[in-house]
Structure 1
């Protein structure tokens, strides 16, 4: 949209406020704030845990990328995100990313790639991760990061817990709209997301860095990752997170980390 359109958007932007939404407790408000970037991206209510979707539409969305079709598969997704998510894979490959970032020559970079491909299957097994998943994310990063890193807050943040935590909130909206879980179960999962996010990040800024990089990392691990598409996606989410970090009326500004 261009720089002037972006600047105009900063001034004309407004949150989607759901009228007559149930009042949130302080804990719920903090939990919902973890998914605020998604709320802005999809124009979702900033004050309620819903996408305002009918049950059929929500179930269809969940069936595609998430493979969730009922209550049990919804709970399994919660277990995955809360126990490890993508942050588990990231912690295993991050040391190799740092080595790649410090490589001075192309030959050094290639040598690190080869060594990582040799060593990571065993490292993955020690951490009870699927070697093929770890190798896919490692290879996707190594082949894509040069085109994407200029759009990232950090090239390799200490954690991407922000990414997993935000997704807990995002899927909770869908789970509730689809009728797969009850509100109490969703808020319990979100409270757990708050716990692990606060354990691994020290501020909303750091949380955002983990989210932005984590989203890019997820896309890098998908087969045939498109670097230009990832860069555009990162830029869009960066715009939304900048609003959350700088606007006085944003939940990130109102709620201390």
Structure 2
């Protein structure tokens, strides 16, 4: 038998219409022979009935599927199989035709929903649908089944838009992994082409060509996507039209509870370190929406360390305290760290991180600032007027580079926008850079996660030792970045002003937004 037609009879079922192909075979809507309802009949694809192994796999998959009890998996009602083909005439066993009957979901599917709406779905709706489907997939995977043909049109929706899956087949590890990739592609179809960098990273990881790089389970992918979308708390459906199962509360795999101390750093190679990169992306305006923070289930030290680098993350991913991975692609990250920091391997990654943690230029900046405040105690920054000779005297007394001292003094004296208050230390700039560098090196595969977390914890503790609160940290960050930009400029004061114009809006947002990690994670206990 090739196909069934309207009004054909199969095992007492009357064919109403053809629904289309699925993973197991052709699907038809049919009237039940005895009950006042309609079921879906699935008949193996033409030719597959001639293969004894294919028939055995079909039967085994249906038998397992019939035992699955899940709110997002279509129930299996009955099946029949035979060793020979047959026609479409009536017969108690289907006249030699293998078939399986399942419940009929009277509604539509996600593909139809997208076509009818003509616009992407809301983030909450996408998060709910992906969560429901991910639970169904993981439940099937736990019983040796996979979908293998997951598309928007395969996610069925009833009248209340409750998602369902059907058509599972026997699966191995490859098929199980492919289900997550297919779910990730559906997520991007539902969201549209324009998504944030953090969402793009989650999707990219779920679709990774290397199955080992994907999330441990579909539920982990769904939880990470919900966090990136800034959706509601897992397990609570925010959309009245989509009902979801309880999702995993873990956003990403938790880091080790006890983290080993960072390994001893090898001797630094000064020639490997280039000047700090300038910010390419414009800062997020102060009027932007709240910073999304998933509440990463790590230690306070881990969160504090990540918050040190929040300025960088908030200008790109809008999720400054999430986890180690970055929103950018692996290739772009490797290019950034190679061009800006000359990092090409693990040793250079560790060396440069340690240099930043110790302070490449902070010691010089701090010595000049200390000299200025000693010469003019209590004077606001705008009142400082320092001639080159005085700058040279401070440099000689503190042992810092004279050219750097003159540049710093010029930037301080002539800048129009540097804050009036002189910071205790500008180390915040390099601590923030170091956290960002650790995250990029981890994403590029140059350092292990346990080392990365240990380094971030150490950087967070260094911040705690230098700064009383996040306001002081922000002041040190703004000054440090401005002075670093001034060093490479023909007009140091103008470069400092430009840096402040980029930095201050983001720092203001971090300090004033109630969801900001800088206000939720104390620098000092």
TM-score with structure 1 setting the length: 0.79
Residue 363 of structure 2 corresponds to residue 88 of structure 1: yes
Q: Can you list the C-alpha shifts for 1:24-72, whole angstroms capped at 9, x where unaligned?
A: 3333222111111111122353212232223321111012221222111
- The C-alpha deviation readout for 1:131-167, integer Å capped at 9, x for no partner, is 5xx223212122222342x422345311112112111
SS of residue matched to 2:323: coil
Matching of residue 36 in structure 1 with residue 310 in structure 2: yes
Residue 56 of structure 1 pairs with residue 331 of structure 2: yes
Find 1:109's aligned residue among 380, 386, 394: 386
Structure 1 partner of 2:408: 141
Would you say 1:164 and 2:441 are equivalent positions?
no
Q: 1:167 to 1:154 in 2, by over 3 A?
A: farther
Partner SS, residue 151 of structure 1: coil
- Alpha-carbon deviation of 1:179? 1.3
- How far the C-alpha of 1:204 sits from its partner, in A, is 0.5
Distance change >3 Å, CA 66–CA 225, structure 1 → 2:
farther
* Alpha-carbon offset, residue 248 of structure 1: 1.0
- Distance in 2, matches of 1:205 and 1:22, equals 23
Change (3 A) 1:210 1:154: farther
Change (3 A) 1:139 1:35: same
Q: Is the 8 A contact 1:52 1:177 kept in 2?
A: no
Find the partner of 1:209 among 475, 483, 488. 475
Seen in structure 2, the aligned counterparts of structure 1 residues 225 and 64 have a Cα distance that, compared at 3 Å, is farther
Judging changes above 3 Å, is the alpha-carbon distance between structure 1 residues 45 and 90 closer, same or farther for their aligned structure 2 residues?
same
**1:198 equivalent in alignment to 2:473:** no
Contact 1:161 1:201 in 2 (8 A): no
Between the aligned partners of 1:73 and 1:159, the Cα distance in structure 2 is 26
| TM-aligned CA distance change 1:225 to 1:193, over 3 Å | farther
Alignment partner, residue 395 of structure 2: 120
Cα separation, 1, equivalents of 2:341 and 2:494: 24
Does the CA-based 8 Å contact 2:302-2:453 persist in structure 1?
yes
Deviates more, 1:78-87 or 1:183-192: 78-87
239-248 or 94-103, which moves further after superposition?
94-103
SS in structure 1 opposite 2:361?
A: helix
Asked if 1:251 is matched to 2:517, the reply is: yes
- 2:281 paired with 1:15: no
Q: Distance in 1 between matches of 2:422 and 2:287?
A: 32
2:340 is aligned with 1:65: yes
Q: In the superposition, relative to structure 1, how do residues 118 and 209 fare at CA in structure 2: closer, same or farther (>3 Å)?
A: closer
Q: How far apart in 2 are the matches of 1:73 and 1:11?
A: 39
Does the CA-based 8 Å contact 1:204-1:245 persist in structure 2?
yes
Q: Secondary structure at the match of 2:461?
A: helix
What SS class does the counterpart of residue 90 from structure 1 fall into? helix
Gaps in structure 2 of 5+ consecutive residues: 1-283
For residues 229-248 of structure 1, the aligned pairs below 5 Å read 229-248=495-514
By how many angstroms is 1:109 displaced?
A: 3.1
TM normalised by structure 2 equals: 0.41
Q: Distance in 1 between matches of 2:501 and 2:394?
A: 33
Displacement after TM superposition at 1:82 (Å):
1.9
Contact kept in structure 1, 2:428 and 2:474, CA below 8 Å:
yes
Q: Distance in 1 between matches of 2:449 and 2:315?
A: 23
Equivalent residue number for residue 222 of structure 1: 488
Greater helix share, structure number: 1
Contact 1:161–1:211, Cα closer than 8 Å, also in 2 = yes
Map Cα deviations across residues 223-256 of structure 1 (whole Å, 9 max, x no partner): 5245334313212211111111111111112122
Equivalent residue pairs, number: 234
How far off is 1:11 after superposition? 4.3
Long gaps (5+) in structure 1: 1-7, 125-130
CA contact (8 A) 1:219 1:230 kept: yes
Larger Rg: 2
Instruction: For 2:469 and 2:459, locate their aligned partners in 1 and report how far apart those are by CA, in whole Å.
Output: 15
